[in-house]
Amino acid sequence: MSTVTTWLVTGASRGLGCELVRQLVAAPDNFVVAAVRNPDSASQLHALRPAQGSALHVVQLDVSSEESIRASVPEVEAILSGRGLDYLYNNAGMSAQDDGFNFSYEQLLAALQTNVAAPALLGAVYLPLLDKGSKKTIVNVSSGMGSLTQEHGSAMTTYCVSKAAVNMLTYKQVRTRPEIVAISLSPGWVKTDMGGSDAPLEPPESVAGQLKVVRGLRKKDAGKFLSYDGKELTW
């Protein structure tokens, strides 16, 4: 008898988030909750037809709002109908074109809220449901640009700072709750609205790699910084 695997994916209306949901529901036995800011306009999600044994539910969740994050929990809990949550996939994010001295203070705070504070709060408020799940996995989508040991130049300072911070969040989550398999995961440089047209990776390739990595995680991988192709990255 097959076992259904439960997923909550944030930032699921477009780009890598939508592709994650598409690949998950195309396979059997995945119960996916796709979290988006505006469910009514998430036409790509609503057009998906899950494979036999899989299910898709679209919920409202604005990662820039503490109230929205907290309000999503009882809704998701009701949708899961007694099941636990196996995977919390913190995919939502934002970037900015700036450098170390030329940046918008307001945009920096917004990036920290979306890219760091939201995954932190989501991990905290969904922890009881993760405790009920069999996989107990948190995927914090990061970036190689969050590594302090790689050369990135001066560009995209706000983005780099926020991704370095989310890597530390992963580290702290695992030190706080060692039984939770939390990882930072770089999707690579992907052709999306955020990544731009010069990126070498197409979304399906990145997502297929991400899911191979995520499905293969073991407890010994908790706290690691991994790439979509399975390589371990330096902090």
Band of pLDDT at residue 1, cut at 50, 70 and 90: very low
**pLDDT tens digits, residue range 93-138?**
999 899 999 999 999 999 999 999 999 999 999 999 999 999 999 9
Question: What single string gives the DSSP state of each residue in 71-110?
Answer: HHHHHHHHHHTT---SEEEE---------SSS--HHHHHH
Tokens standing for 206?
A: 């990145």
Reduce the DSSP state of residue 74 to 3 states and report it. helix
**pLDDT tens digits, residue range 53-103?**
999 999 999 999 999 999 999 999 999 999 999 999 999 999 989 999 999
Tokens standing for 59?
A: 């919920």
The CATH topology of domain 6-227 is Rossmann fold (3.40.50)
Q: What is the mean pLDDT of residues 136-146?
A: 97
Question: What single string gives the DSSP state of each residue in 5-21?
Answer: EEEEEES-SSHHHHHHH
Cα 72 from Cα 74, distance rounded (Å): 6
**pLDDT tens digits, residue range 25-45?**
999 999 999 999 999 999 999
**pLDDT tens digits, residue range 222-234?**
999 999 999 999 9
Q: What is the mean pLDDT of residues 19-24?
A: 98
Please report how many Cα atoms fall inside a 13 Å half-sphere around the Cα of residue 78, on the Cβ side. 7
The CB-based long-range contact list for 103-109 (8 Å cut-off, 24+ gap) reads 103/157, 103/158, 104/158, 107/158, 108/158, 108/161
* pTM recorded for the entire structure: 0.96
**pLDDT tens digits, residue range 186-211?**
999 898 877 777 777 899 999 999 99
Q: With beta carbons less than 8 A apart as the criterion, state whether 203 and 191 touch.
A: yes
Q: Give whole-number Cα distances, 49 to 26, 30, 46, in Å.
A: 8, 12, 8
Q: Which residue would you say has higher pLDDT here, 181 or 152?
A: 181
**What's the pLDDT at 2?**
63
